[in-house]
Structure 1
Amino acid sequence: MRNTSSTAALALGIAACMCNLIIVLLPIGILLGIAAIVVALAGSSRSRGEGRPALALSAVSFLIAAVWALTAAAMFWIDPTLLA
């Protein structure tokens, strides 16, 4: 029988990745990524290894968010007149 918390964490990780691809939904994606990590860690304590794909997807979603943040920071670093 499959661990339902690991399945929920996987779904949250997929949703986090999809939300982080769209910059407008970035805050929602970050929250979903955090929720996926929490649920995956809670689920992996009961069964070994089932929460790993969800943790990997959460890491990918945070990587996507970091790329967006670095892109925005680079725009302001290159052209400081954007802040004025």
Structure 2
Amino acid sequence: MAKVKLHRCNYTFLHTNLDACWVVQKALDEQGVEYEVVKEGWGKGRRPKVEALSGQSKLPVLELSDGEVYRAESKEMAARVRAGGVG
């Protein structure tokens, strides 16, 4: 079972740096972090599961192995992953 859960949008086919979720997923892949993708609802509307988890509705969100829920802008999240702060 994966140690980290990546809550991301359903657009898993979109692999560009314009997709915030892909930016974080790519960083996880580059660092060899084992993770599970949890696809969340479409659009930028309400996401009850995400809101319950993180207190807001934006994606991506990481659930870390120590129970921390982490949400920031995708570039900041990717930088933390690359610095070894996730896993």
What TM-score results when the alignment is normalised by the length of structure 2?
0.25
| Structure with greater contact order relative to length (CA < 8 Å, sep ≥ 6) | 2
What TM-score results when the alignment is normalised by the length of structure 1?
0.26
Greater per-residue strand proportion: 2
